[in-house]
Structure 1
Amino acid sequence: MSENQKKETALHFLDYWRVIRSRKEIVLAVLFLVVITGTAYTFTLPKIYAAQSRIQVNNDSVDIDPFNPAMSGARGYDPYFLRTQFEIIQSKPILYEVINRLNLQEIWGKNGEKIQKELAYKILLSSLDVSQYRDTNLISLTAKRQDPKEAARIANELADVYRDIRLDLKYKEMTRAMDALSRELEKQQEKVDLAQQRVEQLRQELDITVLPGSYAGQSENSVEKLRLQQLEGDRIAARVEMLVAKARFEQLDAMSDEDLRTASAYLTQDPFVEAMRSQIKDYDVALTSMLETYGANYPEVKKTQAARDELIVKLQRALGGIKKGTQAQYIVAKSKFEALEEELRGVKSSDQDSQRDKFVPFNKAQQEFDIQRSIMTALKSRIAQEGITLKVPRTPVEIVDSAEESTRPVSPNLIMNVLLSIFIGLGSGIGLAYFIEYLDTSIKTADDVERWIELPVLGLIPQKVRPLIEEGPDSEHAEGYRVLRTNMAFTDSGPSRGAFAVLSGGAGEGKSTTAFNLAYVCAQQGEKVLLVDADLRRPVQHTILGVSNRFGLTNVLLRDVPVEETIKTTSVPNLHFLPSGRLPRTSLGVLDPKRISELVHSLKLKYDVIVFDTPPLVGISDSAVIAKEMDGVLLVVQYRKYPRDLIIRAKQMLDTLGVPQVGVVLNNINIMRDDYYYYYHSYYSNYDYYRSQEANPVVSQGAQGQA
């Protein structure tokens, strides 16, 4: 076989469709099984109801800011802020409060016993779905439970708890800041009182009746005083910044690890921290599912728990870095304040040197008093501002829609599951069909014959073909054999007349029926034909013709009876028949090559066409002996029966014998199953011959079958 012919040709779309059509029983069976299984499984699933509440989430700004009207109600869209709120809504502090308010530990417990809060948290987390409406600040809170009332209660309570905790956290934060500012104000008041007492003491000691700001020479120091005022303002701002940083650091330093993780969403917008929080949440959901299915001692559960604990340690380290960063901010603010204070002291010292010696101590005390009083005034203003801001209404969370009880379950979705089952069933069925087709190495098409055997296909014979002596010469199948005979006449592989052997690689491929019908159509065309049943072990031709098999080819080869006495005439004009005869107890020497050669030579002198029905070629030596003396060999291959290796082996044996090979008959084709042969069937099933012919001979109805 040439290399080009060994290569597989490119597959066309119709080739794929042919596989599906030819294996449609498998596809439909798998589809039916998967759909039935999927539908039955859907009916066994518990009904799940969903309840949805909607909330509007805003940044922590007041509705009306009296000190910054431009920022009043400023609540721009911030995707990072919303993603942070997703995590906060599903955090333990929020869900623990929902569990406590709804008493879910007892409700979900069995036999009146409470389940662990951690397990209740995981169950609640797995039943929640938090999502955002695109390009809006609206968040959907969906709870899914078997009880529709319980689902509605959870969705509504989650919205309430989140709103309350947001308000409470902001209020506590501002209250702590107010307390810190109040404590600083008390300390500053003491400093102002001491500075005032010092000024009064020096005024009395120095007998000063005119304030230092009104003495002559004030204009000379106006530049120095302006610089002093600027530095003093910077110093006051730096002190306020230092106090705020100090309060923030002390607040974070006092938090526990759990509180720090809870507040991390408000402390930083670091994507790395948010990613770790999201991954911890995924681990919690996975652990909930695995705990309900396998239990706490399952290796995969322990592995997931260990991964979650390790991630929490990493998150704690990251939050520790945030705490250190806050401490660093406080240290920087403090250093800035001290630097400004040092610079201010230098300016004051320079200014004092320019004053008269009498007023130096007094001016210094007076300046210190002014500084402390300015700081106290700034603190009072800040406290008053924060107090007013604290009283302004805040709505960081608004409940847009409350959840209501659902009357229709969202799961299981029968239509969706059936459609999914159909999709999976079709995919699996088609995949299985292609896999079986891949494993099937039998001959399926005429192209397969020409590719693997390198012989022309002379005839395509459909299924359910009987001997033409039963069907009649006008049957749709008869034309197929006439085409076979015509192709044999015009082929270059052998003569149109002479001795031909009809053989196959294996048993049951229909060679006996093919041999008889070929002889039949040759006789119908006016040729003098002899049909020889050379299948000594399984002869069938005598049953087709309804004649005796007592004497035949074996008797001729053993020289018991002359060949003329064993040849029988049939009811078919021009068709004569040589039965196989009964096989003796020992078949050794029956098919002697010399005797076969002499017999074939003598018969060719009397008949135009001699058709030998031979045994299968592979495994039996009889066919090789007979084929060696033939003018041509016709190989019968049954559609989708044997692996092509058997047919290739038979072809190789014929090549070794040097026998002329006329071609191949592809037999027993399932035309209705394979589109490849559709037009062949359509043509011959409607082909009608309008010619007058003698009635078909009557034969035994039991004479039929294929070898």
Structure 2
Amino acid sequence: MRNNPRVAVARFGKYLALGGLLAGIAASLYLLITPKTYQATTDLKIEIRFQRTDLLSTNAVYTPRDPEAVPRELRLIRSETILNPVMENLHLAQRWGERYKQGAVLTTNETRLLFHQKTTINLLPDSAIIRIRVTSEDPEETATIANEISRVYRDYRANERKVTTEAKIETLRKQWEAHSQTLIEAQDLAKKLRYQILMAQSTNPVTVIDPEGLVRLQQKRIELETDYVKKQNLLQFLKSLDHDKLRQVFPTMTTNEMVSKMMDQVSAAEAELTFAKTNSGPASSEAKHAADTLAELNKRADAIIDTALEQKVLELASTKAELDKTIDLLKRARSSNNKITIEDPAYNKAVADVQKLQLERDQLKSKLDREQVSAVLPPISSEVLAPAHPPSEPISPNRPAAIKTIWGGLAITVCGLFLIILGKGLKPETGSSIR
């Protein structure tokens, strides 16, 4: 009986069937007893752009990206600045109080502690992607909280940038308008003084012009005539071109600083679009964003070029007026020999004030343009790669693993029963009869 195979097989079958049955029962109890827990995830991609030291300078260089920029955004999303509005917007203190505290509203600290237990916000390794993961027994709640964190963060950054940029732009615009008005007044004063001096000189028969002064005046007339013809031909040529050709030839044919600076921005935007298409694909969000930025800059370039053309019309008219005035002065100098040079302290001071105000106004315009470009091209932006959706299956209990265990235990139990039946069907050893 000690080496009876019937007994050994039957005993092994019993153990096997018992083990399989216990495994199936344990897995079933795990499914029934373990509370269901769901989890939802959303990913935020933080985009850091190369920033130029001077957006409107043709000699500007790009500064390297700040390695702390993305970790700084991670700290912001984890901070109370973002999370407190999320808890308030979703009324989590009331909702969780009904669920966990018999209807009593949770305190701020209790809500915050529970919120941190349910939420994890981490930066994925070697990437600029921040993953927001929420765990809860309510599947709808997981997706709602994850998406609300993402929304509040993006709205916070957008509002912050809008308020800051609008305030700077409005302040600079008011300063520029005030300087422009002061400049107009200063120019009017200089013109008035000049007119008074010239009138006084033209009616003074004692004052005569010296030969060198007459030669300088004649040279000025020749220079003005040459300048007028040159400006007239250039203006006619530029007016014959469309905007696409103007953007190409205008910076090479004129010395307009604003146009040159704007075309430098357009070139930088075109390079960024090419880079985005090459590295992310023509249909990527990066390429679309770069294309939108390029289109906006082209519109601004066209507007600036139109303004520059209008300015050239005014410059041509101013040159013509100056030429006519010089010719008139030459005629009167020859006929009356009146002195036409101006050496008046008040007039010289007025001219110096005009030059100073023009420089200050141009500097303010450059600052204003920089802020407007910064509003179009923010240094940090974010994109929701995948919004959270309510999960259909819980992460706990692990239903697939439990079902596999139940079926595995059932299979083992069947094998054990088969071995028991097989053991009972085996014949006992007949070694004694052989002897």
More relative contact order in 1 or in 2 (CA 8 Å, sep 6+)?
2
Same fold (TM over 0.5): no
Q: Bin the TM-score by the shorter chain.
A: 0.3 to 0.5
TM-score (norm 2): 0.44
Select the structure of larger CA radius of gyration.
1
TM-score (norm 1): 0.29
